[in-house]
Each structure stands twice: as structure tokens, then as C-alpha cells.
Amino acid sequence: MCKLNPKIDLVFKKIFGTEQNKNVLKSLINSVLPKDEQIVEVTIKNPYNEADFVGDKLSVVDIKATDEKGRWYDIEIQVKEQKFYGKRAIFYLSEIYSNQLSESDSYDKLRKTIIISILDFNYFTNDKRYFRRCSYKDFETGEFYPELNFADLYFVELKKFDNELKNIKTTLDRWITFLNKATEYDRETIPNELREPEIIQAFDTIETMSLSVKEREYYEAEKKVMRDRDAQIMTAVENAVDNAKIEFARIMKSKGEPIEKIIEYSGLSKEQIEKL
């Protein structure tokens, strides 16, 4: 099995943010973009290097890149749930867009800016879609104007994707499954559903990846954050289930149902029910 988790930003950037893996980054970007906006070349503007570390904190976790048309991209994976992530994404978009110009440049030099946010938590709670694109468009007609088509925000919510291999239909699905399940496979056991050249290269990158002492400390700290988060979620779910059982048993008891029936339907013990 892969020894490192690609969801941890340090590993993610080593996979997608290095010169030797530019084709892997291009595949990820194209898996998100519409078919008529696919890129041919990608230039990484902030390639990974250990100098990104400041003390024990990795200070540069996103990947900035441009394509052959001059469009700018900012790609980031976010594990820690953030209530205001949308505002953060818009801030990054605005910052990258405005920083394209120096004081003497004119506005015609500005190029489209695209933010790709890969989230390991459910940010949009209104539906079950795991992928969405947000852009400027006419509110009444839904029309995109060329004059305003300079900003896109893409959101990929990893936890909303059903990880069964039979559900994989697109390259984006393959990348999501890679990020969600890479630690379950190695180079020899990659399922056929994931066998695209760039994804195999990503597996190879993880398997041959080495971490310095400083990188290892950061990686282990982030892995602990993920474990603690998952434990908190499991505890919250279990508490919610227990509370639902108690409330159900209380209602049955108030209606005079036999205790044996309450035990059968609620799953609570006789002692628990008698205390209600």
C-alpha cells in the first residue's frame, strides 16, 4: 500500500507541484475544465521545494500555474474544515488576478484566473453534487459574457463521491478516487479503473517519495489532525444515533409499549429503558 496520504498538502504538492510531474498537474486541471477549455501546456509558478517551510509550518501549500493562453490557476487541497472557505477562495482569486499587473501595466494584460479547491469536507450542504463550477454570468439569462469571463471557481468535495470503483466514469472521478483511496493500493494493485498514465505516475511518485526530518514532522502532525477530525466526526455520529434511540424508546415508553418491544425496536438495554 502507498506509504503516504496524498490528501496531506505536503504530499499533494510534491505530486502535482514539481517540474517532473507537470503532465500529472495538467491531467488534474483538464479533469476539472470543460472540454472546450482544455490546456496543452502548464507552467508551474511556485514549484515545490523544502524552502517553503517556515519553522515547522509549510507556508506555501497551494500550486500556482499558467497555461499556454496565459490563464492563471491556483490549486489547493484543504483537509481542515473552514466555515468561511468560500470567502477565502474569492480572496485568493482576487489576489492572483490583481497581482498579474505591475504599476505600469494596463488592464488588457489581465488574464483569466481559475481557482480549483479540492475539499476533504462537505462545504456545500444544499445538495449531493461533488463537483461544481462558479463564474460570473448574467443573473436573468444565465449568459456568460466574454467581457466578464475572467474568473472561475471550481470546487471538488471528496467526501461526497461514492468511492466504489463501478461509479468511476471520468478522469476527475479517477483523481478523486486516487486521493480518497491511494493508501489502499500500491503500484502493483492499482485497479484497472484507475489505470491512466498520469495516475500511475502519481502512484509511482508516492512510492518513491522520501521526506526530510522537517517534512516528516509536518506530515505526522497533519496526519494526526486528520485522525482527530475523523474521530470527532465518528463520535458526533454515534452520539446522534444514541440520542435518537433514547428519544424513540422514550416515546414508546410514554405510549405504554411493553418493555420487551422497546428493547427490540430501540436496541437499548432494560436498565437504560427503566431510567427513562
β-pairing, 63-67 with 72-78?
antiparallel
pLDDT value at residue 235: 63
Pairwise CA distance, residues 100 & 31, whole Å = 25
HEC secondary structure over 90-153: HHHHHHHHHCCCCCCCCHHHCCCEEEEEEECCCCCCCCCCCEEEEECCCCCCCCCCHHHCCEEE
Residues 183-199: tens digit of each pLDDT:
999 888 999 999 999 99
Closest to 202 in 3D by CA, of 37, 70, 7: 7
**pLDDT tens for each residue of 199-254:** 999 999 999 998 888 888 888 888 887 776 666 656 655 666 767 777 777 877 77
Q: Say which amino acid occupies 6.
A: P
Collect all residues with Cβ–Cβ distance below 8 Å to 208 and sequence separation of at least 6: none
Q: Where does residue 79 rank: exposed (0-12), middle (13-18), buried (19+ CB within 10 A)?
A: buried
Beta bridge partners of 154: 116, 133
User: Distances in Å between the alpha carbon of 122 and those of 28, 105, 129?
Assistant: 20, 40, 10
- What letter would DSSP give residue 154? E
Alpha-carbon span 82 to 89, nearest angstrom: 11
pLDDT tens, per residue, the chain with 276 residues: 568 999 999 999 999 999 999 999 999 999 999 999 999 999 999 998 776 654 555 556 799 999 999 999 999 999 888 889 999 999 999 999 999 998 788 999 999 999 999 999 999 988 899 999 999 999 999 999 999 999 999 999 999 999 889 989 999 999 999 999 999 998 889 999 999 999 999 999 999 998 888 888 888 888 887 776 666 656 655 666 767 777 777 877 777 777 887 777 677 777 777 777
